[in-house]
Amino acid sequence: MGKAAPLDRKTFAAIAREYRRRFGFALVCVNSDGLAVHGRPPRTPCTCGGPMPARLKQAVDETLRWGEPTIDLCCHDGFAMWAAPLMRNNVCEGGLVAAGVRLEGPRGKGVSRSHSETILAASRELLRLLEERNLTNPALLKLHHIESERQRERAEALHASKNYRHDDLRELYLREEPTLLAAIKRGDRPAAREVINRVLVSIYHHGRDRLDLRKSLILELVIMMCRAAVEAGGEPSAILGMNYALLSRLDTVRDDEALTSWLVSTLERLLDAIHDNTRYPHTVLLGNALDYVEDNLDRKLPRDEVARHAGLSPSHFSRLIKEKTGQSFQDLLAAYRVDRARELLVRTDKNLVQVALECGFCDQSYFTKVFQKRVGVTPGDYRRQNRNGGK
């Protein structure tokens, strides 16, 4: 006895009719074995992928696996197919498949750009139609998509590693730590994962077939991550307590898959620890921003650049500056520039043009105007007064 249809005929007919009207492609409804229950499977035989039911099932399985539509190309017959899974809770009961779609344009001219864009749009819309009618599980598909992206990132990191020499791990940590710190400060999880993937490649290379050695090397990576988390504003005591639990879990890890999962989980929890802290991070992030300003006074410093370096949105950064200093960012920047100028005027013999440029003023005239407004005297008078003891 065959399996029950995953979708009733009336609902299928409505979806298929709308889909054909919009894209011109026919749909077939298949059960979990790939057997057609509504609509007609394509009549174009394909020898490169096995029997048609197997190919229809594979199209559904691939979308489920990757969390997004995957266009399956028949390498011999010039046809494509894609699918969207029909799901009840977390169970896939079949799918809707657009199959037998011809790839070539009119008169065998090949695939036009507009036709390929239509195919891509149609594959995405099929999944959206099912989500709209609550006939699939978008949350589960999203989880599968996230996991597939992480696998892709790890694969890309592994491929890239073939093109460079594996340095000593400690040197690698020192090289990657600033990038990881910046990503964690910004709360940029994808960028932080990229750093972790690069370091993991080197760890697996050095550890080879010794799991105990790989665990030891990864502990060094975790130490680097924790240091970055504390510098980014995480509460030290909370991170210390979290680490004790994480290290206990590490002792139970018995294979590479579990080891990688443990490391990713550690990163996510460190990022969460930073965001959970509502008091300490702002002080640290603002301090980082002001340090950046002091180190770059000799050039133009847009607010957005400084905010990005601190890991804050521009608007949040402006509010924080006003709250903590009582000044706008531009006023604070001018104050820093004038303070640097006062130091150079007293301690060096550089002329006024040199001082203006080294403090980030575009010309001497503007420098004099800002300086006099803030100090009460011109830069030249300030130099004479302070070098002559105020006489």
Please indicate, yes or no, whether residues 238 and 333 belong to a single structural domain of this protein. Answer: no
Please indicate, yes or no, whether residues 132 and 184 belong to a single structural domain of this protein. Answer: no
Residue 37 lies in a domain: yes
Domain end point (choices 258, 276, 294): 276
Q: For position 84, what pLDDT does the model report?
A: 92
- Residue 106's Cβ-count burial label (10 Å; 0-12, 13-18, 19+) is exposed
The pTM (predicted TM-score) of the whole model is 0.42
Q: For position 276, what pLDDT does the model report?
A: 53
Residue 346 lies in a domain: yes
CATH code of residue 348: 1.10.10.60
Gap between the Cα atoms of 371 and 327, Å rounded: 17
Q: For position 49, what pLDDT does the model report?
A: 53
Please indicate, yes or no, whether residues 13 and 127 belong to a single structural domain of this protein. Answer: yes
Residue 157 lies in a domain: no
CATH code of residue 103: 3.30.450
Residue 27 lies in a domain: yes
DSSP string, 301-328: --HHHHHHHHT--HHHHHHHHHHHHSS-
Residue 149 lies in a domain: no
Tokens 């494509």: give the residue: 80
Q: For position 232, what pLDDT does the model report?
A: 59
Q: What angle is formed at CA 308 by the lines to CA 302 and CA 309, rounded to 5 degrees? A: 95
Please indicate, yes or no, whether residues 197 and 299 belong to a single structural domain of this protein. Answer: no
**Using one digit for the tens of pLDDT, what is the confidence trace for 188-233?**
777 777 877 777 777 766 666 677 777 777 777 777 667 666 665 5
What are the φ and ψ backbone dihedral angles of 190, each rounded to 5 degrees?
A: -60, -45
Residue 156 lies in a domain: no
Q: For position 90, what pLDDT does the model report?
A: 80
**Using one digit for the tens of pLDDT, what is the confidence trace for 76-92?**
456 788 999 999 878 89
Gyration radius of the chain over CA positions: 31
Domain end point (choices 260, 276, 292): 276
Residue 146 lies in a domain: no
Please indicate, yes or no, whether residues 373 and 272 belong to a single structural domain of this protein. Answer: no
Please, which residues have CB within 8 angstroms of residue 2's CB and are 6 or more apart in sequence? 31, 35
Please indicate, yes or no, whether residues 125 and 13 belong to a single structural domain of this protein. Answer: yes
Distance of CA 270 to the CA centre of its chain: 16
Q: Which regions of the chain are under pLDDT 50?
A: 1-2, 47, 75-76, 106-111, 158, 160-167, 277-280, 390-391
Residue ranges of the alpha helices (H) in 67-188? 113-132, 138-161, 169-186
Q: For position 18, what pLDDT does the model report?
A: 92
Please indicate, yes or no, whether residues 218 and 293 belong to a single structural domain of this protein. Answer: no
Please indicate, yes or no, whether residues 295 and 272 belong to a single structural domain of this protein. Answer: no
Tokens 């706008």: give the residue: 328
Q: For position 313, what pLDDT does the model report?
A: 72
Please indicate, yes or no, whether residues 169 and 252 belong to a single structural domain of this protein. Answer: yes
Gap between the Cα atoms of 377 and 64, Å rounded: 72
Work out how many domains the chain is built from and give that number. Answer: 3
Please indicate, yes or no, whether residues 19 and 131 belong to a single structural domain of this protein. Answer: yes
Expressed as residue numbers, the domain containing 292 is 281-387
Gap between the Cα atoms of 342 and 359, Å rounded: 10
Domain end point (choices 229, 247, 276): 276
Among 334, 336, 372, which Cα is nearest to 352's? 372
Residue 313 lies in a domain: yes
Please indicate, yes or no, whether residues 74 and 133 belong to a single structural domain of this protein. Answer: yes
Q: For position 340, what pLDDT does the model report?
A: 93
Q: For position 179, what pLDDT does the model report?
A: 77
Among 182, 372, 379, which Cα is nearest to 387's? 379
Please indicate, yes or no, whether residues 89 and 107 belong to a single structural domain of this protein. Answer: yes
